[in-house]
A and B are shown apart, each in its own frame.
Chain A
Amino acid sequence: MIKPLLLARKDVRMLARTRGLLALLVLYPLVVALIVGGVLLDQGPPTIAFVNEDLTGDAVKIGDSEFRISDYVKQAEKNGVDVIEMSREHAERALDDGQVAGVLVIPGGTVAKLNTQLSGADLKFMVGDNPLGSVVAQRMKGVIYNINLRISDALIDANRDYLDKLVSGGEVSVEGEDFDLYGLSPIEEDLQEARDQLEESGADEDLLDRLDRAIEFAHDAGSAIGLADNALEATAAPVRIKVERAEGKSPLLTAQALGFALAVSIAFVCVVLVGASLAAEKDDAVLGRLLRGLARPWQVMAGKLMLGALLAVVFCAGLFVVFGVLEPQAWTRLPLLLGAVIVSSLVCSAIGALIAVLVRDARTATLVGILLVLPLAPLALVGTDGLVGAIEHLLPVAPSRELFNAVLFETNPWDVVVEQGTRLLLIAAAPAIVATRMLRRLA
């Protein structure tokens, strides 16, 4: 790997001497950060549609507890998501049109299921295939978590009440039917009284022994149920956190902006600069000299990929400083982010190299690179389906954006990291192999 390193070092040295380009390297991330951040942040909080298809309403009654699901859904507004109630038809149309980022549906029968306390219920959440969709989905998981917590608390309270009634006696209601429970403690007291009277009347010792065992069981069972009462709560929610939100910017949205800005910047920098750098070596007639025994085509290609990776890291460091200050959580993912930047740079550099071998000179390579990347940026921002979406995922910006989003704010990013990382490496392999094989054409 010494020759690729030598070649990459030479490219970096030459780049550093191109003052205009160097200034662009410093300014470009700042401009991208300002534009993307401005566009995303100035849009205000994303909106989701709330559809209640349960004709019985949305009030859940479990034991003595009663709460409304809609009250919890509206708490999403505290997480930076606006909630608007709509009909199902209207909501789906709004999602298709991009007027809302997601639709939360309470299906019919949900409240009845929850009221039985015997089964759970599924809420449906639909999101658009775009960057905002994944942000909103992430936030709605928090909302659903809070609803589950509330139901869990209500179930625990109701079950504790049953257990209390089982020990002390009283009225309970199951599936709408009322029952009068006598209770283990009153049974113990009644048995003790009966035993005392039988003993005074000279009852059979064997009968008294059997009554003693029954009294002991009633006592032990009452004590054991008393212990289970506390264990029930501990088992249902072993660890809980109390979240306090401070007023301020929307952190997930800045992470989203960072993910997009990283993907677009890397695409521009690597496709354009690596392509122009390789094509310029042909313009200077130096590539032929290199390929005639000084370096193998794969070494030239590896040097360019290293150059692209280095440029991407430097470029993204500039972006990261700007966005990282806004999004302190991102710093904890720095090593993973570095890996994502390098993987993303590989595919863009390979495409840049392929452009270089296909066109006549550095100027054309630059122009073609810009023309290729330019339409990908807005596509990656809005997200698309169908044929265009499939094509978009064969090019680097959209997979890179998904990779960066996962790395920056997914709780468990590994599935996406593996999927999109593999996809990017596969996309990189094709142009890198073709460009390496065609390199001699440039000589």
Chain B
Amino acid sequence: MDPATDTTARLTATGIVRGYGRREVLRGVDVRIDAGEVVALLGPNGSGKTTLMKVLVGLLPPRAGRVDGPRGARAGWVPQGGATYARLTVRENLELFARLLKLPGSAREHAVEAIRRGDLQPWTDTPGADLSGGLRQRLNVAVGLLGDPELLVLDEPTTGVDLVHRTAMFRVLRDRARAGTSVLYSTHSIEDASVADRVIVVVEGRIAYAGTLEALAVSDADAVRERGGHLAELDAVSLGLLRLWHAEGAS
């Protein structure tokens, strides 16, 4: 079957409960991501987005619920914070992860291809520590894309990345989705979320919304904005998000 037309579920999570100590972070979350689908994960700080992604990629076991989806090398994970070795160069980082992934063929060739896709050629032999935050993040994403995983989960991948490379990064992600990869990324940017086919909004450990971004827009945006204050600066989608957060009791 052509992966581009394969719309069967790539990842299914049902009734996920997870916490740290006595603090409950996820309170019965259901998620479904289809093959070739790009999904953005939205939510206020501390709503459980990162915890949910860690559970979905198998990094944290859920206390309750079940996750069915790609595991190991078939699932790419791009965490926050660079997640590459500061003392290794861009090429060495990519070669190391290519070897750990046991990718067929030469690790160097995989590294060269990843450098090309991430537009990192000028920094091939630059140590991670000497890269700017945005470049380090692009290296982080390049590592996640190694081996063309079936599922790619990215935790705030555009943090620190300039506008041009943000666009380029989403172009690469869309290309991967067209080839059949399912993409889930978290973001705080409505602009970044607009690239996705669908958004999932997590508030207080529960799914507050799952659907298109456009459907989030409030119909009475003008009336809300007229009330003034900081709401006057927000677009209809942001107002819709804000309404969701307040509806779920988020501060």
Give me the interface of A with B, judged by CB distance under 8 Å.
Answer: 3, 6, 10, 13-14, 17-18, 284-286, 288-295, 440, 443
Contacts and interface: CB of A to CB of B under 8 A. Distances in A.
Contacts of B127: 17
Given A17-B127, A295-B100, A443-B59, A288 B77 contact: yes
| Most chain B CB neighbours (cut-off 10 Å) among A6, A284, A295, A443 | A284
B83 A286 contact: yes
Contacts, number: 64
Contact of A18 (B57, B77, B87): B87
A193 to B, nearest CB: 104
A212 B3 CA distance: 120
Nearest to B153: A292
24 contacts: A6-B96, A10-B85, A13-B88, A14-B87, A14-B88, A17-B127, A284-B84, A284-B86, A285-B83, A286-B82, A286-B83, A288-B54, A288-B59, A288-B77, A289-B143, A290-B100, A291-B59, A292-B59, A292-B75, A292-B77, A294-B101, A295-B100, A440-B60, A443-B54
Given A293-B58, A293-B71, A10 B82 contact: no
A267 B182 CA distance: 48
**Size band of the interface chain B makes with A:** 20 to 34
A292 B88 CA distance: 20
A82 to B, nearest CB: 53
A443 B77 CA distance: 12
B79 interface: yes
B123 interface: no
B209 interface: no
Interface string B70-84: 011101010111111
Interface in B93-107: 96-97, 99-101
Contact of B84 (A18, A286, A295, A443): A286
B85 A285 contact: no
B100 A288 contact: no
Query: Closest 7 CB pairs between A and B?
Result: A285-B81, A14-B87, A293-B72, A285-B83, A294-B100, A292-B77, A292-B59
B100 A285 contact: no
B83 A17 contact: no
A289 B79 contact: yes
Nearest to B59: A292
A432 B112 CA distance: 37
Given A284-B82, A289-B79, A3 B88 contact: no
Nearest to A281: B85
Contacts of B88: 10, 13-14
B58 to A, nearest CB: 6
B59 A10 contact: no
Contacts of A292: 57-59, 75, 77
Contacts of A14: 85, 87-88
Interface string B95-128: 0110111000000000000000000000000010
Contact of A285 (B75, B79, B101): B79
Contacts of A285: 79-83
B92 interface: yes
A96 to B, nearest CB: 51
Contacts of B92: 13
B73 A293 contact: yes
Given A6-B96, A6-B100, A289-B79, A284 B57 contact: no
Contacts of A17: 87, 127
A197 B79 CA distance: 122
Nearest to A17: B87
A289 B57 CA distance: 10
Contacts of B87: 13-14, 17-18
B148 to A, nearest CB: 15
A286 B85 contact: yes
Contacts of A288: 54, 59, 77, 79, 83
B59 A284 contact: no
Contacts of B100: 3, 6, 290, 294-295
A14 B84 CA distance: 12
A13 B92 CA distance: 10
B13 to A, nearest CB: 16
